Amino acid sequence: MNKVLMSGNHIIGEAAIRAGCRFYAGYPITPQNELTEYMAENMRNVTGGIFIQSESEIAAINMIAGSSAAGLRVMTSSSSPGISLKQEGISSMAACELPGVIVNIMRGGPGLGNIRPSQGDYFQATRGGGHGDYRTIVLAPASCQELADLTMEGFDLADKYRNPVMILADGMMGQMMEPVIFKKPKPRVYNEKFMLRGAGSGKSKFIHGLILDPIDMEEHNWKLARKYAVISKNETHYEEYKIDDAQMVLVAYGTAARIAKGAIKRLRSHGMQVGLFRPITLWPFPELQLRDLSSKIKQFLVFEMSTGQMLDDVRLALQGYADIQFHGRPGGAVPTPSELANVIAKHYKKND
């Protein structure tokens, strides 16, 4: 297999097309523009590929909802403020159980914010984001290789659970180039009975999210909840780095996790036994796996490029069994490994 040097945004586009994505709609916004550009250039080279630059983010999410209902593999992408606009559509896709991949290349916020890398959309991504009782699967890559792998996996998960999947990365992941190998995508498994392709001589089919009867609506909500419980049980992914002898464990995802690894290398060269727990799925959050660590490790430090959002999930996971410290750099400021190492060193207490 060939290794190629590509930027994160282009990698997502290439991985999506290889995974069989045949409908993409999007509206330009930095720092994800190169992804839309890549789809514009390359979607037309595959049979049945459709690219639409929509009139707005809202139009794009509704276009992919429609194409998903018609049975295509679909994707849209945007950056923070644009993702906010898509929320009604994402909620609608979750209600109608329509698979689709939504890419959020986060920028500094709130509001229009800036175009620097940030992780301020964690709450929005992991708590559903839109209205109503629903969840989206959230994948958080930390390298260009993972961008390729998780984009492909995102399509499989979306089909498997008939649910929207969000790829959550930031401007640095989108702009950075790294070598990448595109793996062979798995063949699509998706039952034709979920596709609206004209009734022909058969029975009419409906996909609708408007359920006026409260008992029916309740039943639909519980059905979704049971599905989310299965996802939580089966689809939790994480990485452990230098955990075995660690006295203190950092919890970080995406770009922050890379900086954390750099800090850990520095700290270990000074004899401090620090490890990293990196959630790869942000929802479902690897709660039980993190709690297990607290049986032997009592110091945790959450590091995010935000004012502290995943921190809540770490608190819920650890349930008071260990001390939790926090370091955050919101608004697009990217800390250096040495800055983070200094912070950690202050909190690090040697166990006797």
Q: Are 117 and 255 in contact (CB under 8 A)?
A: yes
Q: Using CB under 8 A, which of 44, 131, 265, 270 touches other proteins? A: 265
340 token code pair: 């983070």
Residue with tokens 């699967």: 137
Should residue 81 be labelled a site residue for other proteins when binding is judged by CB under 8 A? no
What is the smallest separation between the CB atom of 34 and other proteins, expressed in angstroms?
9
Q: Using CB under 8 A, which of 17, 172, 302, 318 touches other proteins? A: 172
> Strand pairing of 100-106 and 74-78?
parallel
How many Cβ atoms from other residues are within 10 Å of residue 272's Cβ? 17
**Which is nearer to other proteins, 63 or 249 (by Cβ)?**
249
Q: Using CB under 8 A, which of 10, 261, 278, 327 touches other proteins? A: 261
**Residues near other proteins (CB under 8 A), total:** 25
- Stretch 120-159: interaction string toward other proteins, x if CB under 8 A: ----------------------------------------
Should residue 31 be labelled a site residue for other proteins when binding is judged by CB under 8 A? yes
Should residue 30 be labelled a site residue for other proteins when binding is judged by CB under 8 A? yes
What is the smallest separation between the CB atom of 96 and other proteins, expressed in angstroms?
36
- Stretch 310-339: interaction string toward other proteins, x if CB under 8 A: ------------------------x-xxx-
Q: Which residues contact other proteins by CB under 8 A?
A: 3, 5, 7, 30-31, 115-116, 171-172, 175-179, 258-263, 265, 334, 336-338
